[in-house]
Chain A
């Protein structure tokens, strides 16, 4: 059974002139980390809302085509069950905090309370998640007094504490510095390693290149490419969608353009280093021979 199957899906928000999703056909497998990229307003968050069932359960509008989530038609899902099965965090950390808890500890426990988790389990899970996120120092602070970045971590911790099978994550690092962003991506990778299916929207393309298994590229409501990360990053779809490539990929293309291609298209720093090292070694041998 797949995570999601979308066939020719078009969605127009009520009172909107243009569809936010148009003719989207996608097949998402389970146990994978999907990265979704696209410029502002290209429909990434709308796709998240759809996968999370907020469309059509919460957002009004016209939905055409068929959507299956975990083998069941989206319309047949019970909204409450969907909220338990698919965890989601949206990007604005100022609205992702409940606003009714006055310690981070209780904030993270809130979702567990609502799931009826026993108190001792709750304490364990809050402790382990906050250690994982590196926010144990915040546990006694008031979540409503935290900075945007800290709130973002708390909101993310609150959702992963709930341990749902699927995670839909919309720009989890928008307020974070590079180091924290990297840490969040490692946690996401770890969740995937533990069998979760993840859909992740993110603008930081270098991190996407390093961590995502597959990429979905969006442009004005359409999915212009879907496939293995390296392959998609190298494809012209990225230019078509106006999404920047990782620096190293651009570098490789630039070298290729002047006839000095690396023989491969690296998407991560490590791949690039390997390719360049090989080249350098080659050059070295060549130079030795000349000498």
Chain B
């Protein structure tokens, strides 16, 4: 949900939008860019330290952070989905197909090897360490706060518009597509049955939805201009990011330094 989530709504500001965006949690209230630095550092650190211990610790660290931020449940669910849908697949394919000398067992044409299992584990963990950072980031930081942080760093508002409008357009178009699909179904157009029948339903459902959306761009342009979007005046912002306290900046710097030091040491070592 949004930064102005129910917790924020019952904030002491008493029903007005005065004050800064707050989730009432010290991790979630961190500056979006600091969160990015910390998570990226952990990810890199996990990759740079001895395997597979480093990688596993990285993944565990993400879980720990999520729990501390009070989003343990939702992150764990997403992460579990990735572990099964991505990690496991990457692992199984390697375990099954990477050649090696230590064949574990034979099953028809397949001969999983110890080397394959090892490579599969490492590769899956590497991917999970990278995915974890990305997934956790967007569980912790609402898109609009992230965009605000970037805009305050000088990103043009047009870029923010494109990104945020995309998310809304996905919701809106998805909804219209469902409506049209139901309407088509009730008019007797089949959306089930053999492949050819289903394939033929695709264009009649989507074309009208897409065309309507494209037609509306004209009015959207006018509406945005009516809001002085192109005023040429530097924009101000109704949402405010909490200024990062000293401890937050120190922690961020420390994590980044630890990451750089480890990578640097690793490079010197070899």
Contacts and interface: CB of A to CB of B under 8 A. Distances in A.
Q: Do A and B touch (CB < 8 Å)? A: yes
Interface in A101-149: 102-103, 105-106, 109-119, 122-123, 126-127, 139-140, 142, 144
Nearest to A127: B16
A158 B222 CA distance: 14
Contact of A80 (B4, B227, B231, B240): B231
A155 B224 CA distance: 11
Nearest to B18: A123
A15 interface: no
Given A114-B235, A122-B238, A140-B9, A103 B230 contact: no
A278 B176 CA distance: 57
Given A95-B216, A100-B164, A103-B2, A90 B222 contact: yes
Contact of A102 (B2, B231, B234, B235): B2
Given A102-B2, A102-B144, A105-B17, A83 B226 contact: yes
A166 to B, nearest CB: 12
B201 interface: no
B230 A92 contact: no
Sorting the interface of chain B by its residue count into under 10, 10 to 19, 20 to 34 or 35 or more gives 35 or more
B223 A90 contact: yes
A144 B168 contact: yes
Nearest to A89: B226
B188 to A, nearest CB: 28
A58 to B, nearest CB: 7
A3 B182 CA distance: 50
B171 interface: yes
A172 B216 CA distance: 18
B9 A116 contact: no
User: Residue among A87, A88, A95, A116 with the most chain B CB within 10 A?
Assistant: A95
A58 B221 contact: yes
A90 to B, nearest CB: 6
B236 A113 contact: yes
A114 B222 CA distance: 15
B219 interface: yes
Contacts of B231: 80, 83-84, 114-116
Given A100-B160, A162-B227, A116 B240 contact: no
25 contacts: A87-B226, A90-B219, A92-B216, A95-B216, A96-B219, A96-B223, A96-B226, A100-B161, A100-B164, A102-B4, A111-B226, A111-B228, A113-B236, A114-B229, A114-B233, A116-B235, A116-B236, A117-B236, A118-B236, A119-B236, A144-B168, A144-B171, A144-B172, A159-B226, A162-B228
Given A80-B230, A100-B165, A144-B168, 10 more contacts: A52-B226, A84-B231, A96-B219, A96-B226, A99-B220, A105-B4, A110-B227, A115-B228, A140-B4, A142-B2
Interface of B: 2, 4, 9, 16-18, 144, 157, 160-161, 164-165, 168-169, 171-172, 216, 219-240
Q: Give the 9 A-B CB pairs with smallest separation, nearest first.
A: A95-B219, A100-B164, A111-B227, A109-B238, A116-B233, A114-B228, A99-B168, A102-B2, A96-B223
